[in-house]
Structure 1
Amino acid sequence: MHDLQKNNKVLLGLSGGVDSTAAALLLQKEGFEVTGLFFDVLGDQSEAKEKAQNAAKELNIDFIYTDVSKEFECNIIEYFCNSYLVGETPNPCVKCNPTIKFKTLLEEADRLGIYYIATGHYAQIFYDAEIKKYFVKKGDNEKKDQSYMIYRLNQSILSRLLLPLGTVNNKEITRDLVREKGINNADTKDSQEICFINDNNYVNFIKNRKSFNEVNKIGNFIDKEGKILGKHQGLVNYTIGQRKGLGITFGKPIFVISMDKENNTVTLGDNEELFTNNVISNNNFFIVSQEGNSNLPMRYKGKKIIAKIRYSAKPAKAVLHGLSDGKIQTTFDEVQRAVTPGQSIVFYENNIVIGGGVICY
């Protein structure tokens, strides 16, 4: 157990949006002394900082600011750009949460003598007294559940984490809570999908950071037999399952089926070719495993679980199988569409996150 004594203080990740503001209000209602922490991931987010600062004033809580832009550039933005360059689709939030966001929350909480940390995620924390482990559990709001995004958090984080929005089952309840207190951000729009890209145009973002030759590495469109169908404009422009914007027509719907960095090819095919029962993942993480051990725990081998192949995917029944090289094969009862390398596959048992991994094929 951490040597910091438990107290009624909590350090909350405060973006200035409605979710983190509502989280602060719920924590205050429970008697916590809340301090808001704003993460500047780009080093120049003055407008966003001001919104968070204003929210802190209206909440009457202390506010601190931290510039994490150097770490974010090295660990998240580089990873994000490089993933697309090799034909993968990254999960920046999944990577950021354990390595930047929650790590920083914990470090700052320790520095300030604060025991608890909190965020506005729609998820819950579950403690299994039998095995003495903390787990992430799905939030009661099925539409907003964010348990997928925080599946890689370790025990040092989970044991001190509060998620006050976990039991809020409707986003309008969140907005009403903020509105009732007369706080100005009650009706602000939900945050954008990628927090560090203002216009959500990830291709332009990467083009501004990488060399022309890296981004515009022209190669061949091929079919599954290897027949050349035309020229693609660089792997960064495509994702698995993509149909529009290919710059090539066949008189019928055609989709990106796979990408090969080594040969710089993009394989095109029919919609039916996007479906599979089997998903292979590496860099796996399980709550019950010792830190750094990515092998499939014995307790889950051959056991029926629930899995999601992306954040927006419908949870589906599956069985886990350990492979000899440390990878894991997830075999679904029903076929899954557009399994995408680079995305996370997350495993659940009774709405509790037991682990997950990064899809490699």
Structure 2
Amino acid sequence: MSDAFLPGNGFDTYETQDKVLVSMDGTVDCGVVVRILQQQGFGVAGAVVQLAADQSAWAAAARQAAEALGIECIVLKAEALANQPAEVLGSGNDARFAALLTAADKLGIQYIATGHHARVELGSDGVHAVCPAVDAALDESAALAALPQDTLARLLLPLGEFTAADVQEMAQDFKVNGTV
């Protein structure tokens, strides 16, 4: 992969003051997301969304991965959201996104990001659409297709633009390791 195609080369960069709250899960992919966003000029913070009490060990490992990346990380204990009906969570019915958005709002953070392999594009009509990842074998766009417009407008999915080989190469370049 040529350096000319790496994020942070001046294409699609954001102002330094823009912040993003990254959903942390302790995987290599998540670490690559953090580094891509940092290269693009974002101030990055992490959040672990814990939907059940039995996920505390996983949440601790994901938080440790965030600390290894040198970013602040909070644990969102969102057990109360896990069993909420769709009308409470909104279209998309995903408690993790609801928890991330609520935390981002409380922290004054504009964007949220995940390690999903998909892309969000803004059409000429002003409507955001979830599009397949460049690497069809990793595509997770169907899982995000029902998210509401207000969520899609704030969602960054850096991995959707890369193949699995690209992500592995970036992980090596960034010296990112997964813990989970």
Amino acid of the structure 1 residue aligned with 2:50: D
Question: How many aligned residue pairs are there?
Answer: 162
Could you tell me which residue of structure 2 aligns to residue 132 of structure 1?
A: 126
Give the whole-Å Cα distance in 2 for the aligned partners of 1:153 and 1:18.
Answer: 25
Written as runs of structure 1 = structure 2, the 5 A alignment for 1:266-285 is none
Q: Are 1:123 and 2:118 an aligned pair?
A: yes
Give how far 1:183 is off.
2.9
Could you say which structure has the higher strand fraction? Answer: 1
Q: Are 1:142 and 2:136 an aligned pair?
A: yes
Structure 2: stretches of 5+ with no match in the other structure: 1-16
Contact 2:132 2:139 in 1 (8 A): yes
Could you tell me which residue of structure 1 aligns to residue 11 of structure 2?
A: none
The verdict on how the C-alpha distance between 1:97 and 1:42 changes in structure 2, with shifts beyond 3 A counting, is: farther
Could you tell me which residue of structure 1 aligns to residue 158 of structure 2?
A: 164
| Higher radius of gyration, 1 or 2 | 1
Aligned with 1:45: secondary structure?
helix
The verdict on how the C-alpha distance between 1:50 and 1:97 changes in structure 2, with shifts beyond 3 A counting, is: farther
Give the whole-Å Cα distance in 2 for the aligned partners of 1:26 and 1:114.
Answer: 18
Written as runs of structure 1 = structure 2, the 5 A alignment for 1:248-267 is none
Could you tell me which residue of structure 1 aligns to residue 29 of structure 2?
A: 19
Contact 1:55 1:183 in 2 (8 A): no
Amino acid of the structure 1 residue aligned with 2:132: K
Structure 1: stretches of 5+ with no match in the other structure: 1-6, 77-94, 189-361
Amino acid of the structure 1 residue aligned with 2:145: Y
Amino acid of the structure 2 residue aligned with 1:150: L
| TM-score (structure 2 length as normaliser) | 0.81
Give how far 1:74 is off.
4.6
Could you tell me which residue of structure 2 aligns to residue 308 of structure 1?
A: none
Deviates more, 1:107-116 or 1:64-73: 64-73
Contact 1:178 1:185 in 2 (8 A): no
Contact 1:43 1:68 in 2 (8 A): no
Give the whole-Å Cα distance in 1 for the aligned partners of 2:85 and 2:170.
Answer: 35
Give how far 1:149 is off.
0.3
Contact 1:97 1:150 in 2 (8 A): yes
1:177 to 152, 170, 176: 170
Identity across matched positions, percent: 31
Written as runs of structure 1 = structure 2, the 5 A alignment for 1:217-228 is none
Aligned with 1:143: secondary structure?
helix
Could you tell me which residue of structure 1 aligns to residue 53 of structure 2?
A: 43
Give the whole-Å Cα distance in 1 for the aligned partners of 2:102 and 2:49.
Answer: 13
Could you tell me which residue of structure 2 aligns to residue 112 of structure 1?
A: 107
Give how far 1:14 is off.
0.7
Give how far 1:49 is off.
1.4
